[in-house]
Every structure is written in structure tokens, then in C-alpha cells.
A and B are shown apart, each in its own frame.
Chain A
Amino acid sequence: MGAPTQAIRDLSGILPILVLWGVALVILLGAPLLRRGPGSRLAAPLGGAGALGALLVLLRGSSDGFGDTLFAGAALTDTLYSSGAFVLLLGGFLSVLVAQTYLRSRDLEKPEYYAIMLLSLSGALLMMQANDLIVLFLGLELMSFGLYVLAGFARTDAKSDEAALKYFLLGALASALMLYGIMLTYGVAASTELSNVQSAVARGALKEPMGIAAALLLVIGLCFKIAAVPFHQWSPDVYEGAPTSATAFLATTAKIGAIVAFLRVCDTIAGGYHTWLPAIRAIAILSMIVGNLIAIAQTNVKRMLAYSGVAHAGYLLVAVACMGFRLMGTKGTQASILAMTGAVFYLLAYALALIGAFGVLAYLSSRDKDAQTLNDLRGLASSQPAVGYAMVLFMLSLAGIPATAGFIGKWQVFYAVLTGGDVALAVTMALTSAMGVYYYLRVVWYIVFEESAAPKPSPTGHGVEARPRAMTGVGAAITICCIATIGLGILPAAISSFLTVVR
């Protein structure tokens, strides 16, 4: 009968998720011990071990069963999942490192933070592995619940509460729209399993009004999660209000999870591209233009990174749009595969630079002062050179300057869309990237060329307490992000064995 072997195969397919759940449950059970006293030092290492353990399990796992479905068609494992999961779990681990220092310095640390992080990561993994829209939705919710709470983790801070409430209300609206889309999908396909949806699309389901509405609602729901224009209004307030470590986590996790799910959904409904491709192209172009334009006006670095996140959502949507070319001849198929690989690499570069940048802000924050504005970065290159130049590097990577990982990611997506033959998207992407360089370089200017405004109270700091933090979690996170950003910028092939999406 083979039922036990099937069960073992199913379980080993979702082993990273099981590891995350297990460690999260351990943290929760131990919460009374981890809250105060000597035990409180163990919470962050446990969280880090959870993310790292899941990453190791993922890397050790064999790729034998790739392409097969698990749990009677509910989930699957393939290279898109495994590469996306690699990026996600790496980002999760780095976020734990940032959180460890930041929460402690702001006096916010609680073991629940790490448990929620791990549950959120497991939700994102579930989203990436989903072979059924119901599972995708459950994953999305599991991921989002955690992110709402992390945004409001600083409960005495009104801005943090505002961030959580805004994120929750708009997120709930997006979830409702998406659920409506899933229901309508069931209406045209009589199933929510992706393979059945694909065959329904092949039969012309997306030519009917209900199919069109279903596709558009799914697109809108996912666009909310990645903060694409015009569904981006929540993002600046949430990025600004959330504790910096939570911002780093939610910005990367939501984007990685939602983009990978987006790629999979759009790949599934590629047969009906005439319905959704114009919408995605319009949203992508709008996001690239609006995000970059508004980011120029920001003086708060967190808000600026939020709008830059909107622009990056636009670049990533260019990759999603390439899924629509899959059935347009060999060039189109090639473009869609290139775009998947490119998008995952882009996400990796984005996660490294973003977590690094928020890590620098976290590094500069202390109990009384939360570093957020350009002024807080003034003259950093002379007062704290190592951190200052790290921030410069992250800005250059986000801007897509050559010899950084950000450039390679952007180039891969750009190349994919050119292969697909969509010149309009490619040109918009190039022009808006050039526009984006301005505000990233302004941060660099503040760090390198402006004089530190505050009188120097100590040899190391500019108003920041002179505690050596290089050896703490955030120092490690910044170091890893730096090395990886340069390394991948020079030798992108080093990681291609994990990140290449094949069909």
C-alpha cells in the first residue's frame, strides 16, 4: 500500500516548515522561563537556531522528489520553492540577528517576538509551496498575522500601534479580496488546485467575466502584500512606525513570500495572459515611477526605504509580468524561466541590502533614541567608519550600482524582460532605476560628506552611546550582508546552484 512511505515523503517535503513550527513551539512552551532572568538570553539564540536549522534542513534535503506534489496535491516542492525558501530563511536568520540587538537596546525583547517570527516564516514557506489556492491563502494569513503583531510590538509607542492597526486593517481587506478571488476561481475551475486551475485557463476560463474578476482579485490581493501602487498606502507608515528590526523582517518576508507565490500563480494562469498581463504591466510601471518619485522627497530613512520598496515591488512585478510570455514561443518561455531565476536573485540582493540598511539604523539606536532620519546618519563615515561605509554599500546595492548584488539582480530581470521582447517595461525599468540613484546617493552624501551635527560626546559616537556593538547580533548581520552583497556582486555564479530555477 505504501501509505507510511507516502506520509514520510510528504513530511520530509515540508521539513523546513516542521522545524520552524517545532522551534516556535519550544520557545512558547519555555516562554515563562525565557521572559526574565538568565533565560532571557536564550530566546534570540533559539530563534536564530530555528531559522538556521530550517535553512540547513532545506540545503541538506534531496531534490529527488522535485516537481511532485505532496499531501494529495496540497503542496509541492520544486526549484522555485527551494530557491525562494533559501532567500527567505537566510533573511529570517539575519532578521533575528538584527532583532537580538535592537530589541535589547530598546528594552522590547520578549521570547514571543522570535516565536512569531518563526511562525511567520513558516507561513511564507507554506505560501511558496502551495499547490492549492486554499493552502496559499492559509500561508499568507499565517505570515501576515505575525507581521501585524511585530509591527505593533512596541506597544507603548503610538506610532507602532498605528502601524500595526493600519497594516492589519488594509491587510485584512486584501485578504478578503483575495479570498473572494479564490472563491470565483473555484467557480470557473471547480477546484482550487493549481493544476486544475491551469487546465481551466487552457479551456478559456479567463475569457469569462467571472474568470477575469477572479484573476484580477488575486492580483490585487498579492499586490497589497508587496506594496505595489496603488495598493501601497500602508507601507510608509508601517515601515516608519514598526520597530526597526520588525521593519527589516516584514519588508523582506512579505516581499519574498508574496513574489514567489505571485510568480507561481501567474505562471499557472499564463494561458490567459491577455486578462492579467496589462494590469500587471500597468501596476509595475506605476510602482516604479511613483515609488521612486515620492522616495526623493523623504527625509526619514525608514520612509524612504518604504517608497524605495514600492519601486522595488515594481521591478519585481516586471519579472512577474514575464510569466505571461511563457506561451508566446520559445523566446517567451526562455524569458519566463530567466525571470524566475532573476526575481529570486533580486529578492536575495534586496533582502541583504535592506536588512543591512535597517541593521545600521538598529545599530545606531539606543534606549532613548531611535535612529530614523538622514540627520541621524550625518557624518557617520568619519564617526563610525565601518558602519558608515557598510550603509554606503547597502545604498549602492539598492540603487543597482555595478559590483554589488543589487546590480546583478536588476540586470537579470532586465535581461529577462528584454528576452521576452517587452521594450516598454525594460525602458521604464532603466529610466526609473536611474531616477532612484538620486535618493540613494543623497544618503551616501549625508554619510560621507556632511559634518556630524551633534557635538561629539565620545570618541566613537555622535550622540549615540559608546557601547561596542560590533560583536553583537546586529554587527554580525551587517558583516554578513556586506560580504554577501559584494561577493554576489562580483561572483554571482557562486550561489547559482541554489538559486537557479529550472523547469
Chain B
Amino acid sequence: MLGRYIPLLVAVVIAAIIAGAMVVGSLILGPKKPTRFKETTYECGMTPVGSARDRFPIRFYLVAMLFIIFDVETVFLYPWAVTFELGSRAERMFLLTEMGIFVGILLIAYFYVVGTGSLEWGTEDDASSKALGKAKAARPPIRFGNENSGPVSLPSGARKAA
């Protein structure tokens, strides 16, 4: 009964151990020499714009809602597919019709979403893009502590090692 979940449990435990070991290990072993540059949020090498703790545009909500709708549809598809496999030819036609109606209705929902432009970002998004511009203009200059250091010249020993 529960036996089939034991491999899953083992995988979860191993993942937890590995992840935990990485975090704890770097906490213990890593040297800590904080500078302002290191303390800033890491944004793929870009300088951060504004605070990350900002309100999201409501479009994200719409996308998540769409995702849920079609996610639920998938859940209905799964047991249907398992049953479909077992049916005779006549039954399969019947099953196909039923699922066709089900999916068809949701397809119309999709056409509606696309037709009304609910997924279009940018055209109507002036409000939020202006807000982003404002945040960009108002951001304080971030100083990383290396502005006045000039080009870095490596010592000759380091060059040899490389």
C-alpha cells in the first residue's frame, strides 16, 4: 500500500540532505567579506531597479487564472484517457464526442480570451510602464565601492599561476 511511496520519500530525503548540506556547508566554509556591492540584490548582473517588494500588475492574476482553468481541464483528461484505452470502437466514438464537447467549450473560452485581447501586454499597459519609468528615474545611484579604483592590474605572480 504505502510501499509505493517509499522511493518518493527516499528521493525527498536525499534532496533535502543535499540541499541542506550545500547551504550549511557554504555557511560554515565560505569566507565572509561583505561589501556594499555584494549586499545588493543579484539581478543577473544588472543593477536593481526599485524594490522587489512591489505590487504586481493584475495581468499576472489573469494568466494564473487561465493556467488554473486549463490545468483543471488536464485533470479531467487523465481518467478519461485511461478509460478510453479500454473501450470498444463504438464506445470510443461516444467517449470522443463527450470529450470533444468538453474541450470544445473550453476552446471557445480560449478564443474569447484571445479575441478580446486579454492576453495582450503592453498596448494598454501605459499605467504600469510609466510607473516603472518613474521608479527607474527615482532610483538612488548605487555605489559599489569600486568606482574610483580604475583598471585592475593583477600582480605578476597571479598572472603566472593563470
Query: Does the CB pair A25–B108 fall under 8 Å?
Result: yes
A35, closest chain B residue (CB) = B116
A32, closest chain B residue (CB) = B115
Say yes or no: is B105 at the interface (Cβ < 8 Å to chain A).
yes
Number of interface residues of B (CB under 8 A): 9
| Assembly CA distance A31 to B109 (angstroms) | 11
B111, closest chain A residue (CB) = A29
Query: Does the CB pair B116–A31 fall under 8 Å?
Result: yes
Query: Does the CB pair A31–B115 fall under 8 Å?
Result: yes
Query: Does the CB pair B105–A25 fall under 8 Å?
Result: yes
- Mark out the residues of chain B between 99 and 120 whose CB falls within 8 Å of any chain A CB in the assembled complex: 105, 108-109, 111-112, 115-117
Query: Does the CB pair A29–B116 fall under 8 Å?
Result: no
Q: Scoring B residues 9 to 35 as 1 if CB is less than 8 Å from chain A, else 0, what string do you get?
A: 000000000000000000000000000
| Assembly CA distance A303 to B10 (angstroms) | 61
For residue B124, give the distance in angstroms from its CB to the closest CB of chain A.
Answer: 14
Q: Which 5 A-B pairs have the closest CB atoms?
A: A32-B115, A28-B112, A25-B108, A31-B116, A31-B112
- Mark out the residues of chain B between 49 and 97 whose CB falls within 8 Å of any chain A CB in the assembled complex: 94
Q: Can you report 11 residue pairs joining A to B where beta carbons are below 8 Å apart?
A: A3-B94, A21-B105, A25-B105, A25-B108, A28-B109, A28-B112, A29-B108, A29-B111, A31-B116, A32-B115, A32-B117
The interface residues of chain B lying within 8 Å CB-to-CB of A28 are: 108-109, 111-112
For residue A115, give the distance in angstroms from its CB to the closest CB of chain B.
Answer: 9
A25, closest chain B residue (CB) = B108
B109, closest chain A residue (CB) = A28
Question: Which of B94, B112, B117 contacts A29 (CB under 8 A)?
Answer: B112
For residue B146, give the distance in angstroms from its CB to the closest CB of chain A.
Answer: 50
The interface residues of chain A lying within 8 Å CB-to-CB of B108 are: 25, 28-29
For residue B156, give the distance in angstroms from its CB to the closest CB of chain A.
Answer: 70
B-side residues, CB < 8 A to A, are 94, 105, 108-109, 111-112, 115-117
| Assembly CA distance A21 to B105 (angstroms) | 9
The interface residues of chain A lying within 8 Å CB-to-CB of B94 are: 3
Q: Scoring A residues 29 to 55 as 1 if CB is less than 8 Å from chain B, else 0, what string do you get?
A: 101100100000000000000000000
For residue B14, give the distance in angstroms from its CB to the closest CB of chain A.
Answer: 38
The interface residues of chain A lying within 8 Å CB-to-CB of B109 are: 28
The interface residues of chain A lying within 8 Å CB-to-CB of B105 are: 21, 25
For residue A57, give the distance in angstroms from its CB to the closest CB of chain B.
Answer: 19
Q: Scoring A residues 1 to 41 as 1 if CB is less than 8 Å from chain B, else 0, what string do you get?
A: 00100000000000000000100010011011001000000
The interface residues of chain B lying within 8 Å CB-to-CB of A35 are: 116
B112, closest chain A residue (CB) = A28
The interface residues of chain B lying within 8 Å CB-to-CB of A32 are: 115-117
The interface residues of chain A lying within 8 Å CB-to-CB of B115 are: 29, 31-32
| Assembly CA distance A3 to B111 (angstroms) | 33
A33, closest chain B residue (CB) = B115
| Assembly CA distance A31 to B113 (angstroms) | 10
| Assembly CA distance A31 to B117 (angstroms) | 11
A30, closest chain B residue (CB) = B115
| Assembly CA distance A29 to B112 (angstroms) | 6
A7, closest chain B residue (CB) = B94
The interface residues of chain A lying within 8 Å CB-to-CB of B112 are: 28-29, 31
| Assembly CA distance A32 to B112 (angstroms) | 8
For residue A249, give the distance in angstroms from its CB to the closest CB of chain B.
Answer: 21
| Assembly CA distance A302 to B94 (angstroms) | 50
- Mark out the residues of chain A between 395 and 438 whose CB falls within 8 Å of any chain B CB in the assembled complex: none
The interface residues of chain B lying within 8 Å CB-to-CB of A21 are: 105
| Assembly CA distance A463 to B115 (angstroms) | 41
For residue B134, give the distance in angstroms from its CB to the closest CB of chain A.
Answer: 23
B105, closest chain A residue (CB) = A25
B114, closest chain A residue (CB) = A32
| Assembly CA distance A368 to B64 (angstroms) | 36
| Assembly CA distance A206 to B47 (angstroms) | 68
B104, closest chain A residue (CB) = A25
| Assembly CA distance A296 to B76 (angstroms) | 51
The interface residues of chain A lying within 8 Å CB-to-CB of B117 are: 32
For residue B120, give the distance in angstroms from its CB to the closest CB of chain A.
Answer: 12
| Assembly CA distance A456 to B94 (angstroms) | 67
The interface residues of chain B lying within 8 Å CB-to-CB of A25 are: 105, 108
For residue A134, give the distance in angstroms from its CB to the closest CB of chain B.
Answer: 15
Most buried by A among B94, B116, B117: B116
| Assembly CA distance A32 to B108 (angstroms) | 13
A24, closest chain B residue (CB) = B108
| Assembly CA distance A28 to B105 (angstroms) | 11
For residue B2, give the distance in angstroms from its CB to the closest CB of chain A.
Answer: 25
Most buried by A among B105, B108, B117: B108
A110, closest chain B residue (CB) = B116
The interface residues of chain B lying within 8 Å CB-to-CB of A29 are: 108, 111-112, 115
Most buried by B among A3, A21, A25: A25
For residue A110, give the distance in angstroms from its CB to the closest CB of chain B.
Answer: 10
| Assembly CA distance A31 to B105 (angstroms) | 15
The interface residues of chain A lying within 8 Å CB-to-CB of B116 are: 31-32, 35
